Amino acid sequence: MVPLMTTPSKISQPYITRFAPSPSGRLHLGHAYSALTAYRAAKQNGGRFLLRIEDIDASRCKPEFTDGIFEDLAWLGLKWETPVRLQSEHMDDYQQALETLKDRGLLYPCFCTRKDIRAKINHTQGISGTPHHSAPERGTTGLIYPGTCRTLSPTKAAALIQKDTPHAWRLNLSAALAQIKSKAPNETELTWFDEVKGKIMTEPHLLGDVILGRKEMPTSYHLSVVIDDALQNISHIVRGMDLFEATHIHIILQRLLGLPTPVYHHHALLLDDTGERFAKSSRSATLLSMRRSGISREQIISNIGLSEGP
Which residues make up the interface to ligand GLU (CB under 6 A)? 20-22, 54, 225, 239, 243
* Torsion (CA) 237, 238, 240, 242 in degrees, nearest 10: 10
| Shortest reach from residue 37's CB to ligand GLU, in Å | 11
Separation of alpha carbons 307 and 288, rounded Å: 21
| Shortest reach from residue 197's CB to ligand GLU, in Å | 17
Distances (CA, A) of 15 to 41, 228, 297, 304: 9, 16, 27, 25
| Shortest reach from residue 135's CB to ligand GLU, in Å | 23
Q: At what angle do helices 91-103 and 246-257 cross, to 10 degrees?
A: 70
Separation of alpha carbons 185 and 45, rounded Å: 36
Residue 139 or 147 with smaller CB distance to ligand GLU: 139
Residue among 7, 2, 87, 6 at smallest CA distance from 52: 87
Residue 21 or 204 with smaller CB distance to ligand GLU: 21
**Contact criterion met (CB below 8 Å) for 238 and 16:** no
| Shortest reach from residue 224's CB to ligand GLU, in Å | 9
Residue among 246, 256, 211 at smallest CA distance from 109: 211
**Enclosing H/E stretch for 214:** none
Residue 54 or 72 with smaller CB distance to ligand GLU: 54
DSSP state of 24: S
Separation of alpha carbons 232 and 255, rounded Å: 17
Residue 96 or 232 with smaller CB distance to ligand GLU: 232
| Shortest reach from residue 52's CB to ligand GLU, in Å | 8
**Contact criterion met (CB below 8 Å) for 249 and 222:** yes
Residue 99 or 195 with smaller CB distance to ligand GLU: 195
| Shortest reach from residue 168's CB to ligand GLU, in Å | 19
Residue 149 or 270 with smaller CB distance to ligand GLU: 270
